[in-house]
Each structure stands twice: as C-alpha cells, then as structure tokens.
Amino acid sequence: MISAEEFARAVKKKIISATDPEHKAVLALYPEWSQYWQKGFLVEPTPGLFAQGKVAMWWGGIWEMANLMADPLRKFEVGTFYCPQITTATSQYSTGVPMRMIGGASGEQWAITKTAMDKKTVDMCIDWIQFLTVPDNVNSMVAEAKTTAPLIKGGSVDEALKPFMAEADAGVSPFVIERLFSTQQREQWFREFQLFMSGKYTVDSFADKTQEIWMAAADELTTKQKFDTSKW
C-alpha cells in the first residue's frame, strides 16, 4: 500500500508524474473505450438503468448486489466478469496481470486514524478492530448487511456475492491516486477529465493539468500532515 507521505514524496521528487509515458498511455485508453459507453456519459447516469434492462453492462460495486438481486422488477440473470485484459497489443506497458478490484471487497476495512493517535486511544481502537475481525463476528455483520464480502479467513460469503470471490483472488488495487486528493482537488480533476473526454484537451494537455493537481495534492498533504521532508 502507498501512504500519503510516499505519494507526496514521489511527486515532489519526480519519481512519478502524470506526464510520464505510462500514465499518458492509460489516459489514451479512455476515449477509445468511450465508444462502448452510454450516451451522455459525461454526467452521472440515471439510477437503475441496468436493473431496468436498458444497458447491457454496468461497473458498480459489490455492495449494490443485494438490492439488485432482491429487485422484483428485474427480469434477467446477473453475472460478473473482468474488464477486458489490457495486453501488449494495446499498450507496451501492459504487465499481463489481470485487473485488480478497485478499493476493497469488504466492509471490514479498519484503520487507525491520526485523531486516535492524537487522543491516545489507539489501544482501544485496536481492541475494537480485533473484536470485529473474529470470524464469528464478521459473519454476523456480513449476514445482516448482505452488501460486503469478508476479508477475514473463516468468514462466510452470501450466495449472491460468491461470484466476486474468484475476482478478489487477483487482489485489490493498492494505489488509487484520486483518494489522496482533497474534495476540491477531486472535483477539479473530474471537471478536467470531463473536458478531456469532450475533446477540449489532448492527452498531453490533460496530463499537464493532472500533474498540476498531483503537485497541489502533494503540497497540501505535506503541509497538513507535517511530513518531515528532510528525510526525503
């Protein structure tokens, strides 16, 4: 996993950049893929289009399966599959590794916050996390919610969520840069992305805009978290 400090250091020391050829190769895929997207994809889609059978495919989250499976108006079977593999035929930077899940596969993603450290309640937090991650306790939570799959050995999986488990074996994506942005920075990035997808930017100009946001995020994280840059 990449921490906020590792991201900030990498950006400030130019270890990674949005203008790197690898990142530009990723950006170039979006316009190509958009030919398969619904009309008006630049705005949030109308809720329930997939459940109504008006679109063939839908990229959602495991937490949405329970409502979908219980929907009395659904008249079709539901399955899951990987996004198409990015191979060397598409990009010279392809690793050949199957796509990983974005984010996480469960509701048991617990962490110790800086607030807990400041208030010296870390030991209490750890006790709570240990309680929640006992398999029997996880199973109770998963059985009631029916919206998550456990990441704890010995945890049970709801029948509707079992198809996701094979995909989970590939692992979880450990580095989603936008998660390190402030709310304002995420909104700015999305506005710039919309302009890119509407043809207002080229890959190069959008990469430049993105790099500006990365740098701003690195600066803000460094200041707010008081990272010791002398160790960088």
Do 91 and 116 reside in the same domain of the chain? no
Residue 213 has pLDDT above 90, yes or no: yes
Tokens of 130: 């240990």
Distance separating alpha carbons of residues 200 and 209, to the nearest angstrom: 12
Do 67 and 129 reside in the same domain of the chain? no
As for how many domains the chain has, the answer is: 2
65 φψ region: left (φ > 0), alpha (ψ -120 to 50), beta (else):
alpha
Asked whether residue 164 is domain-assigned, the answer is no
Q: Which domain holds residue 75?
A: 4-100+173-231
Asked whether residue 163 is domain-assigned, the answer is no
Do 110 and 94 reside in the same domain of the chain? no
Do 143 and 185 reside in the same domain of the chain? no
Distance separating alpha carbons of residues 33 and 108, to the nearest angstrom: 33
User: Residue 111 has what pLDDT?
Assistant: 82
Do 89 and 178 reside in the same domain of the chain? yes
Question: Please, which residues have CB within 8 angstroms of residue 159's CB and are 6 or more apart in sequence?
Answer: none
pLDDT band at 103 (very low <50, low <70, confident <90, very high): low
Do 63 and 9 reside in the same domain of the chain? yes
Asked whether residue 168 is domain-assigned, the answer is no
Tokens of 99: 């796509």
Asked whether residue 184 is domain-assigned, the answer is yes
- Residue 188 · residue 176 · CB < 8 Å: no
Do 112 and 70 reside in the same domain of the chain? no
Distance separating alpha carbons of residues 201 and 179, to the nearest angstrom: 23
Do 183 and 81 reside in the same domain of the chain? yes
pLDDT band at 200 (very low <50, low <70, confident <90, very high): very high
Residues 2-48: tens digit of each pLDDT: 889 999 999 999 999 999 999 999 999 999 999 988 888 888 777 78
Do 122 and 182 reside in the same domain of the chain? no
Q: Give the residues across from 101 on adjacent strands.
A: 172
Asked whether residue 167 is domain-assigned, the answer is no
Which strand (E) or helix (H) includes residue 137? helix 135-145
Distance separating alpha carbons of residues 41 and 197, to the nearest angstrom: 9
Asked whether residue 122 is domain-assigned, the answer is yes
pLDDT band at 105 (very low <50, low <70, confident <90, very high): very low
User: Residue 89 has what pLDDT?
Assistant: 87
Q: Quick one: which of 182, 169, 178 has its CA closest to 221? A: 182
Do 188 and 226 reside in the same domain of the chain? yes
Residues 50-60: tens digit of each pLDDT: 888 888 888 87
Asked whether residue 220 is domain-assigned, the answer is yes
Tokens of 210: 């993105």
Asked whether residue 133 is domain-assigned, the answer is yes
> Widest CA span of the chain, in angstroms?
61
Q: Quick one: which of 85, 33, 76 has its CA closest to 55? A: 76
Q: Quick one: which of 67, 47, 63, 43 has its CA closest to 55? A: 47
Residues 126-179: tens digit of each pLDDT: 999 899 888 888 888 888 887 777 777 788 887 877 777 777 777 776 667 888
Q: Quick one: which of 94, 93, 77 has its CA closest to 85? A: 94
Do 85 and 125 reside in the same domain of the chain? no
Do 86 and 23 reside in the same domain of the chain? yes
Distance separating alpha carbons of residues 214 and 218, to the nearest angstrom: 6
Work out the average pLDDT over 81-103: 80
- Average pLDDT taken over every residue of the chain: 87
Residues 179-199: tens digit of each pLDDT: 889 999 999 999 999 999 999
Tokens of 119: 């208030």
